């Protein structure tokens, strides 16, 4: 019962076509078929948030979506953030605020934060804390991650003001 499906989707601005077994999750197709291993897989049942990516601008758990459900979707992963040379403002802020230690959870936090800041550019610290509670980090204790995202939100507001 392999039942392969031809899947068309856009990943980080590039149109992709992949032949996938229906039971493959979006996280698995990103990592194994498209070789975008920046998206990490932790718990595989929607608890840890390490696999968070943006699907049509909304942060979602890539382990809680079959890839075939992403037909025609616009997917953004952590690989879309830097320009190949420089880190994005959010990534730079994570570095400056020591918002990562082992880094395993970081791609999920970055994409979650991008989704939150895109929808709520005026988010203050409490709203950011609430949103970031979706993901687990076993190293930092979270304060520095909240600091990094809050600093990015503030500086983006100043830039657009």
Q: Is 68 near other proteins (CB under 8 A)? A: yes
- For 120-135, letters b (16+ CB in 10 Å) and e give eeebeeeebbebbebb
Segment contacting other proteins (CB under 8 A): 31-39, 54-62, 88-96, 98-106?
54-62
Q: Which is nearer to other proteins, 58 or 87 (CB)?
A: 58
Closest CA to 33 of 59, 60, 70, 58: 70
Site for other proteins in 3-42 (CB under 8 A): 3, 5, 21-23, 25
Site for other proteins in 81-140 (CB under 8 A): 112, 115-116, 130-131, 133-134
Instruction: Quote the distance between the C-alpha of residue 116 and its chain's center.
Output: 11
Yes or no: say if 137 and 143 are a contact pair by the CB < 8 Å rule: no
Q: Is 149 near other proteins (CB under 8 A)? A: no
- Whole-number CA gyration radius for the chain: 16
Interface ranges with other proteins (CB under 8 A)? 1-3, 5, 21-23, 25, 43-46, 49, 52, 58-61, 63-66, 68-69, 71, 112, 115-116, 130-131, 133-134
């Amino acid at each position: 019962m392999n039942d392969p499906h031809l899947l068309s989707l856009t990943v980080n601005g590039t149109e992709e076509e992949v032949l996938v077994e229906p039971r493959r999750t979006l996280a698995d197709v990103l990592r194994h078929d498209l070789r975008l291993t920046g998206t990490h897989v932790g718990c595989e049942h929607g608890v840890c948030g390490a696999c968070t990516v943006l699907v049509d601008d909304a942060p979602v758990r890539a382990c809680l979506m079959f890839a075939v459900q992403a037909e025609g979707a616009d997917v953004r992963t952590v690989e879309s953030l830097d320009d190949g040379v420089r880190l994005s403002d959010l990534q730079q802020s994570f570095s400056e605020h020591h918002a990562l230690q082992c880094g395993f959870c970081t791609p999920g936090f970055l994409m979650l934060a991008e989704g939150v800041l895109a929808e709520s550019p005026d988010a203050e610290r409490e709203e950011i804390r609430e949103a970031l509670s979706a993901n687990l980090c076993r190293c930092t204790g979270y304060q520095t991650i909240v600091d990094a995202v809050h600093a990015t939100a503030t500086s983006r507001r100043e830039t657009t003001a």
